[in-house]
Amino acid sequence: MTLSLSVAIGDYDRMRPLVDGAVRIDAANAHFMLLEPEEIFFRAFRHAEFDICELSLSSYSMKMAAGTSPYIAVPVFPSRAFRHTCTVVRTDRGITKPADLRGKRIGIPEYQLTANVWARAILEEDFGLHPRDVTWVRGGYESPGRIEKIAINLPPDIRVESAPEGATISGMLAAGEIDGVMGPRAPSCFENGDPAIRWLFEDPTAAALDWYSRTRIYPVMHVLGIRRSLAEAHPWLPAAVMKAFEASKRLALAKLTDTSASKITLPFTEENLRRARQTMGDDFFSYGYAANRPWKATRSRRRQGANAFPYPPLPVAGGTRAGPTSRCCAAATGRVPELDRGDLHRWRTEGVLRLHACHPRRGRGPAGAAECAASRHPPPRHT
């Protein structure tokens, strides 16, 4: 039997071999939709429209913590980014260093966006700026009226207010009504070269490299989700999905390495690729658990607002079923929950929650979730 799957992902080079058919998901006929992340997330979390899709890490964490996620993730990370470029500020507000944001009003498209979670964590851990030290003004970048895609329950000392009716955070920043903007995209006033707007970090690349040298973390923005009911019905599927996405990424990197002709419309590709590998290793855009052990949860991410924020890594698929007690993930409690089935094995090592998935009747091995599932649940042959 061949599964028919709807797959919604961003248009990235690492996805192209899958979209073009150079790589296939075993025993599946995948129909790909290349969409913007915001559309994918809204449709996935509001209506669960896709079988497999890219998911916001922070939103997925919240839904898992609440026990309402229709998806369960595999350790494929479609988007990763350093977020020292996440914040822009006005030049006339006396902001010369991150700590100067204390007492300021900062625009945000949504509080719980993964990019903002990482940016706030960096500001608190490196510069002592707690989220309660800032007033957050929520609104659309260029269109008014944006709201949180998922309801959040913040501590009472975190101040979030909505932008005035009809206002956008880009327009408010340009008019001087707020002091800065934090988010995954730069506001149009910055992109248009407004001299009154600059990055918070004078050299964000140098700041990110310094941060990486101390943490060894390349921040994950998005995970890949599989519809929970599909993972339960077809225990081999998560491993097949991870195998295909890993192969697709490997082909994309091989093309990028061939510098006989430029593969992307950007100068200095070869130099930057060498620099990335020298700094971060050959598999710098790594999937799976073993390569991502430095990805540790920090105390500040938990303090940013109860169960609204990631305590990575999170529950993943592999022939698993999360019961009612497993729904309280570490994003909410920082504890390893008990399970009502023997198919998830969790433990802590150096404060990191790790998870392996095995079939409860097939034994328990040291392999990671997808590898374990693959060894015990080979996919059927194509028919």
Residue type, 140: G
Q: In this structure, are residues 181 and 108 in contact, taking their beta carbons and an 8 Å threshold?
A: yes
Task: List the pLDDT tens digit at each of the 383 positions of the chain.
Answer: 789 999 999 999 999 999 999 999 999 999 999 999 999 999 999 999 999 999 999 999 999 988 999 999 999 999 999 999 999 999 999 999 999 999 999 999 999 999 999 999 999 999 999 999 999 999 999 999 888 888 888 999 999 999 999 999 999 999 999 999 999 999 999 999 999 999 999 999 999 999 999 999 999 999 999 999 999 999 999 999 999 999 999 999 999 999 888 888 999 999 999 999 999 999 999 999 888 876 644 444 445 553 444 333 344 444 333 332 222 232 222 222 222 222 223 322 222 222 222 222 333 333 333 444 434 444 444 33
The token pair that represents 75 in the structure block: 């350790």
Q: What are the tens digits of pLDDT across the range 282-306?
A: 999 999 988 887 664 444 444 555 3
Q: What is the DSSP letter of 91?
A: T
Q: What pLDDT, on the 0 to 100 scale, is given for residue 220?
A: 95
Residues comprising the chain, all counted:
383
For the four alpha carbons of 139, 145, 147 and 153, in that order, the dihedral sign comes to: positive
Q: Which domains does the chain have, with CATH numbers?
A: 3-81+219-376 (3.40.190), 87-215 (3.40.190.10)
What is the rounded distance in angstroms from the CA atom of residue 235 to the CA atom of residue 374?
9
Q: Which of 319, 374, 324 is nearest to 345 (CA)?
A: 319
The token pair that represents 121 in the structure block: 């964590």
Q: In this structure, are residues 155 and 161 in contact, taking their beta carbons and an 8 Å threshold?
A: no
First to last CA, the chain: 6
| 3-state SS assignment for residue 149 | coil
Half-sphere exposure of 261 (CA within 13 A, CB side): 0
Q: What are the tens digits of pLDDT across the range 61-91?
A: 999 988 999 999 999 999 999 999 999 999 9
Q: In this structure, are residues 32 and 78 in contact, taking their beta carbons and an 8 Å threshold?
A: no
Q: What pLDDT, on the 0 to 100 scale, is given for residue 294?
A: 65
